[in-house]
Structure 1
Amino acid sequence: MPAPDRMLTHLRQAAALVRATPGRRGHTVALENCTEALVAGDLHGHVPHFQVLLKTADLANHPTRHFVLQEVIHGKFRYPRGGDKSHQLVDLFAALKCQYPGQVHMLPGNHEMAQWTDRPVLKADQNQNELFREGVTEAYGPAYGPKIYAAYLELFQTLPAVLRVPNGVLISHSFPAARYLPLFDPARLERDAYADEDLQPGGSLHSLLWGRDTTAEAVGSFLRKMGCDLLVSGHIACNDGFAVPNDRQVILDCAETPAGFALFPADRTITHAELVACVRTI
């Protein structure tokens, strides 16, 4: 575990670098200097999967390859006193963002949003938000734990909601259900700060991160609103590590084994079939 004061510095630097990411507009990023993208599925604290993904990304030898993480918190790994270890992946992201600021990105999922808006997520009768907070204190102690926890919340609020790849692929944790699509306004994601209504059920960010609609009609409508052709997303558990629910979307999941990720070209137009062929599993 890194020294608490050093970790706090890394987290604050990472938040500043997220805000300064090239191509950023509000909470959206159009990836620049990007010829390839490696996108992970939901990690939920799975450090071993992250380590494999990082080795595969090989960022030092591929300076135009971008590495995208999503939904890293609220996992099954615990400290001896019961706290959630998933904050370790936030720490790893922060360190990596400081090392490769233009190449490394993290998308928030509904779990990160629930944590920073203080809306409890319950699983097996356990409050995932409290377990996360307890894990931070267990790792960093009562003196630094609250400071580091506050830095996590600041980082979560700063993260981009969507990434646009140069070839028309959109990377988003999910997309709004059909009933919310008529009200969904992509321009609200381009603001520097979210309005309270964006965070409420049916609001632009809430519906973007919580939607589970995978119909071809809904994803097509969403992509038209976003001005993109294909979608790489997460949010939905996949027994095989990935799923292909329609001809515009690929869903990735890294929380269990097999864990799915996609490494695809970003500097040329690709078909859905080519995108699917770029999916790999751990």
Structure 2
Amino acid sequence: MVATIEYIEETIETLSKAHQANAMTESRLGNVIELNTSFGDEVMVTADLHGHRQNFNAIRQIADLANHPRRHLILQEVCHGGPKYPSSGGCMSHMMLEDVAKLKVQFPQQVHFIMSNHEWSELMDFPILKNQQMLNLLFRFGMQEMYGPATDNVRTAYLPFLRTLPLAVRVEKGIWISHTLPENVDREKFDAKILDQEINESDMKEDGPLFQFIWGRDFRQANADAFANYVEADVLIHGHEPSEEGFDVPNSRQIILDSHGDNATYAMLPIGKNLSQQDIIKRIKKLRPAASFR
């Protein structure tokens, strides 16, 4: 199945517009989206999707951005996972990445697709091996199934869009949302300049500041406290870590959401109100209500 020339050209144009929309988001300051009451009333926070089409559709339906112009939507980690092309086994999640770009173009001030390690891996062509499968290779097979000889052209259009993704969202009154947080912030200095300055090649490399910012799995209380002090936040909301229940609370600072799987969750949060960790936990809901918390 190879797409028509018209579809390919439309996809490339959409990705170009999404790249521009990333840079022109009014609430963006450096690499952080700063949401206060002048920009909106509420924000829907979601986490890793990994190509889960049913959950992605549920998110769009619940967000209903067209009818809620002062509602924001945070998305992250859509690459690698979900349905596969029957003939090649290629990963179809590239289509979800393109759908996110369409959403950004349609709602440029409301949709915020934040950087994650799997999107970074596609940007940098950094291999991720999971369950004895090379996820990047399956992703490329999927693109080739759809775009044939135009695959490289479409992939080239991905890169500026991915490179300009915001790193985090700060919600007024002390809430910080990012894919994860660096490790050992309590023991080593956190290079906060990546939040404020244009990201350069040295920042992007393996083990560089950006790599550390999106790959960490240090959920110690001391680490969370140290990072929260750096970013002046009371509560940290992340994805990155799978959760059978749909969310986890590893310490008194962090909440980890998981929007992939049958127990996928989201949180709808008011902007500009003081919310404790427990207040936010009470606002966590299932994407598909048929699934219930234990």
Same fold (TM over 0.5): yes
| Distance in 1 (alpha carbons) for counterparts of 2:55 and 2:156 | 26
Aligned-partner residue type, residue 56 of structure 2: F
Which of 198, 220, 225 is the equivalent residue of 2:225? 220
Moved over 3 A (4+): none
Change (3 A) 1:199 1:226: farther
Partner of 2:259: 254
State the alpha-carbon separation in 2 of the partners of residues 35 and 273 from structure 1: 20
Match of 2:100 in 1: 93
Displacement after TM superposition at 1:124 (Å): 1.9
Contact 2:53 2:82 in 1 (8 A): no
Once residues 157 and 221 of structure 2 are traced to their aligned partners in structure 1, the CA distance between those partners, rounded to angstroms, is 39
Q: CA deviation at 1:197?
A: 4.2
Other-structure match for 1:62: 68
SS in 1 for 2:136: helix
RMSD: 1.6
Give 1:255-270 correspondences, 5 Å limit.
Answer: 255-270=260-275
Per the TM alignment, residue 69 of structure 1 is displaced from its structure 2 partner at its CA by 0.5
Secondary structure of 1:133's aligned partner: helix
Q: Are 2:185 and 2:223, in contact at CA under 8 Å, matched by a contact in 1?
A: no
Q: Superposition pairs for residues 10-25 of structure 1, below 5 Å?
A: 10-25=14-29
Q: Deviations over 1:195-234 (max 9, x none)?
A: 4145332x32111111111122111110110111111100
Instruction: Tell me which amino acid in the other structure corresponds to 1:51.
Output: N
How many Å separate the matches in 2 of 1:181 and 1:279?
32
| Offset, 1:26 | 2.8
Query: Structure 1, residues 48-102: CA drift from partner, whole Å, max 9, x if none?
Result: 1011011111112211110010011011421121111011111111111111110
Q: Percent identity?
A: 36
- Structure 2 residue 32 is the aligned partner of structure 1 residue 28: yes
Range that drifts further, 179-188 or 162-171: 179-188
CA distance in 2, matches of 1:232, 1:57: 18
1:50 alignment partner, one of 52, 56, 59: 56
For residue 278 of structure 1, report the CA deviation from its aligned partner: 0.8
Structure 2 length-normalised TM: 0.91
Counterparts of 1:1-282 in structure 2, within 5 Å, are 3-32=7-36, 33-80=39-86, 81-143=88-150, 145-178=151-184, 182-201=188-207, 203-281=208-286, 282=288
Task: Return the letter of the residue paired with 1:4.
Answer: I
8 Å contact kept, 1:242–1:252: yes
Gapped runs of 5+ residues in structure 2?
A: 289-294
Count of residues in Structure 1 that have an aligned counterpart in Structure 2:
280
Q: Which ranges in structure 1 are unaligned for 5 or more consecutive residues?
A: none
Letter of the 2:239 partner, please give it: G
CA contact (8 A) 1:181 1:222 kept: no
The two structures have a TM-score, normalised by structure 1, of 0.94
